[in-house]
Amino acid sequence: MEKKTVLITGASSGIGEGCARKFAMNGHRLVLNGRNVEKLNAVKAELEEKYGAEVWLLPFDVRDRAAARAALDSLPEEWKAIDVLVNNAGLVIGVDKEHEGSLNEWDVVIDTDVKALLAMTRLVVPGMVERGRGHVINMGSIAGDYAYPGGSVYCACKAAVKALSDGLRIDLVDTPVRVTNVKPGLVETNFSVVRFRGDKAAADNVYEGLRPLTGDDVAEVVYFAASLPEHIQIAEVLVMPTNQATGTIAYRKK
Ligand code: 8X3
């Protein structure tokens, strides 16, 4: 595909970082968002050095709408025409039951996984429609297909990402702008460490006995969807490790 400008949220690690690497190695121009400036700088340095990539950093918390707007407005004119928006930033805190968890923590999860994704879409998609080109790739999850123990609010958020993706696809049906919902299963990233509030052993246990996906693996799917000819729209992809079958069923070697 021709050179595109790709905005990725949550690009300082995990799936977002994997996507940044994949687009960079294929010669695309990257606008990378994240909260951790140090990590973002490290990703930028790697992509510039290894692939000669053009990278612009936009450090802001996606939950902060004013900061998001100001950051996008601050882009130089030639970087403003975003061709691909990868709405990747997301998290979950804790594995509490719905009737026992912290509403304050869940506010953070809902604000990040649902409301910020919606806000980024609202900011970027009008320009895509105006320019007559664009692709929104939302990071959904297998969690949006099935609720599972300890996942209530996260699963609800990812179900919302599916509905927002489907709704946006409907709203854009008379435009050339494509919408894709990528739904990963078990991916080994810092995601689990955050889920278990920093307990690395509990996080590692999730991937015990099977080979999980990596951020780079999911990036293959994201890039595939983005690189197909413009008349082909991958609406949704469910991607799991070979030894995972559903949100709750995986085979683990003892
Ligand atoms: C994260 C994948 O399997 O923890 O979106 O729900 S899982």
Tens-place pLDDT, residues 149-181? 999 999 999 999 999 999 999 999 999 999 999
Give yes or no for residue 254 having a pLDDT over 90.
Answer: no
Ligand 1 pocket check for 189: Cβ under 6 Å: no
Cβ(253)–Cβ(227) below 8 Å: no
ipTM more than 0.85? Answer: yes
- What is the arithmetic mean of pLDDT over 78-99? 97
| 143 Cα to the center of ligand 1, angstroms | 5
CATH superfamily of this structure's domain 5-239: NAD(P)-binding Rossmann-like Domain (3.40.50.720)
pLDDT value, residue 171: 98
* pTM, two decimal places: 0.97
pLDDT value, residue 236: 98
Residue 178 belongs to what H/E stretch? strand 178-184
Cβ(61)–Cβ(67) below 8 Å: yes
Give yes or no for residue 145 having a pLDDT over 90.
Answer: yes
Instruction: Report the chain's C-alpha Rg in angstroms.
Output: 17
- For residue 187, give the ligand 1 atom closest to its CA: 2
Give the DSSP per-residue string, 173-209.
TTSS-EEEEEEE-SB-SHHHHHHTTT-HHHHHHTTTT
- What is the arithmetic mean of pLDDT over 13-27? 98
Show me where the domains of the chain are located.
5-239
Reported confidence tier of residue 28, pLDDT bands at 50, 70, 90: very high
- How many Å apart are CA 11 and CA 20, to the nearest integer? 7
Cβ(205)–Cβ(161) below 8 Å: no
Tell me which of 141, 183, 213 to substitute to probe ligand 1's pocket, judged by most ligand atoms within 8 Å of the beta carbon. Answer: 141
- What is the arithmetic mean of pLDDT over 133-147? 97
Tell me which of 153, 182, 187 to substitute to probe ligand 1's pocket, judged by most ligand atoms within 8 Å of the beta carbon. Answer: 187
| 240 Cα to the center of ligand 1, angstroms | 10
Pick the residue whose CA is nearest to atom 2 on ligand 1. Answer: 185
Percentage of the chain beyond pLDDT 90 is 98
Reported confidence tier of residue 1, pLDDT bands at 50, 70, 90: confident
| 104 Cα to the center of ligand 1, angstroms | 21
- For residue 206, give the ligand 1 atom closest to its CA: 4
Q: Residue 231 has which token pair?
A: 């008349």
